[in-house]
């Protein structure tokens, strides 16, 4: 297994309202985003504009995040989950025409 190929989850997360009050589909969105986050700086090219994703960041569209999260997760579920977790202060979202960071 490659170094950095893991994420850290705390057991206390099972008591956190962000987790406890989420639907199963929202939890799938949350964990999928965490699994996809970069662990080292990563260069991306979007329509000829290069930028670097920093550790802990992911650049993805809501449609692709729904696809990666799997069964029971629609684009609408992703959009609502992203807004919910942002309002709760779990993450910060920057939206673009091609996706979100």
pLDDT, tens digit, 9 for 90 and up, residues 20-36? 999 999 999 999 999 99
Contact 50, 67 (CB under 8 A): no
Instruction: Tell me whether residue 95 is in a domain.
Output: no
Instruction: Tell me whether residue 2 is in a domain.
Output: no
Q: Is the dihedral of CA 84, 27, 55, 13 positive or negative?
A: positive
Instruction: Tell me whether residue 18 is in a domain.
Output: no
- The tally of domains found in the chain comes to 1
Percent with pLDDT over 90 in the chain:
68
DSSP-H helix ranges across the chain: 17-20, 24-36, 62-69, 75-87
Question: Model's pTM, two decimal places?
Answer: 0.86
- How would residue 1 be classed by pLDDT, with cut points 50, 70 and 90? very low
Instruction: Tell me whether residue 10 is in a domain.
Output: no
Q: How far is CA 57 from CA 40, 48, 76, 78, in A?
A: 9, 20, 22, 17
């Amino acid at each position: 297994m490659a170094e950095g190929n893991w994420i850290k989850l705390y057991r206390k997360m099972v008591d956190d309202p962000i987790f406890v009050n989420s639907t199963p589909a929202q939890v799938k969105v949350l964990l999928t985003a965490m699994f996809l986050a970069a662990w080292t700086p990563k260069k991306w090219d979007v329509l000829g504009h290069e930028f670097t994703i920093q550790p802990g960041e992911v650049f993805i569209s809501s449609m692709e995040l729904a696809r990666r999260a799997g069964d029971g997760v629609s684009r609408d579920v992703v959009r609502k989950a992203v807004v919910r977790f942002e309002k709760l202060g779990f993450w910060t979202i920057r939206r673009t025409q091609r996706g979100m960071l």
